Amino acid sequence: MSQSSYDHVIQQSIPGYASLARLSVALLAASPLASVPDARVLVAGCGTGAELLEARLQRPDWQLTALDPSAEMLSVARDRLAASSLSQEPLTWCQTTVEALAAEGRFDGALSVLVLQSLPDDGSKLVFLTALARALRPGGQLVLVDLMRPERSPLQAQVEAAWLGYQRASGLEGTPEALAGLSQALHPIGVARLTALVTAAGFGDPAPIFQALDFEGFLLQRRA
Ligand SMILES: C[S@@+](CC[C@H](N)C(=O)[O-])C[C@H]1O[C@@H](n2cnc3c(N)ncnc32)[C@H](O)[C@@H]1O
């Protein structure tokens, strides 16, 4: 998928996407450690830069690290930021994964929007979350947004059908089967499983902060 196509699909297929970056940055900016001037903030899986632009807008003082393993995504994010009137510094670009980032206690806060969902629950999610917890100072907070799979909801089939309907109504091309195919590369988990994983990774319990269909956001704090 091309990057312009990526932006179109993600904006049209995720209910509430237009507010997600704004909400995530505002939440982190209100945290004890990231509210201070010049806080160091990691944007993990920055993609084409939605959270970076919003962070620059709300907190131009933040020392941002924009991390993504995809050179193409980072290039689009860099161009978007350069084309904006927002300040370009201080910002460090990192083409790598969270798991490969050796950054013990370096950050006051972190954002991870729609990233964990792409990792299988075969140990990969735990390694990712553990690396994020370690990258934070004790007490540092993470805003995590992901596609979830709610446990035992009698309305689940209806919610999934509604997601396809939402995408069609948003004007995305393709059949319902093709749209469903987009989500086959994703590995959503339920809140109970997420709670077990984040606890093992070094965070406290996830506090819910957002939900639209099965997309949910949580605020997590690294244990002291
Ligand atoms: C669905 S995009 C979301 C991008 C952006 N956060 C947004 O909300 O638009 C997921 C991004 O996570 C990146 N990614 C995948 N695995 C990652 C990992 N292990 N560590 C960091 N980023 C990763 C992908 O390259 C991709 O850019």
Q: For residue 113, what pLDDT band results from cuts at 50, 70 and 90? A: very high
Joined together, the tokens standing for residue 202 give 């070094």
Joined together, the tokens standing for residue 179 give 């749209």
Q: For residue 174, what pLDDT band results from cuts at 50, 70 and 90? A: low
pLDDT computed for residue 87 by the predictor: 82
Joined together, the tokens standing for residue 101 give 């980032």
Atom index in ligand 1 nearest the CA of residue 17 equals: 8
Cα(146) to centroid of ligand 1, in Å? 11
Model's pTM, two decimal places? 0.94
Q: For residue 151, what pLDDT band results from cuts at 50, 70 and 90? A: confident
pLDDT computed for residue 68 by the predictor: 98
Cα(44) to centroid of ligand 1, in Å? 7
CA distances from 112 to 67, 161, 162 (A): 10, 26, 25
Structural domains in the chain? 3-155+186-221 (3.40.50.150)
DSSP annotation of 44:
E
Distance between CA 94 and CA 91 in Å, rounded? 10
Answer whether 99's CB lies under 8 Å from 129's CB.
no
pLDDT computed for residue 2 by the predictor: 62
Query: Which residue puts its alpha carbon closest to atom 26 of ligand 1?
Result: 47
Q: What is the signed CA dihedral for 162, 219, 35, 63, rounded to 10 degrees?
A: -80
Answer whether 113's CB lies under 8 Å from 51's CB.
yes
Mind listing the pLDDT tens digit for each residue in 49-93? 999 999 999 999 999 999 999 999 999 999 999 999 888 889 999
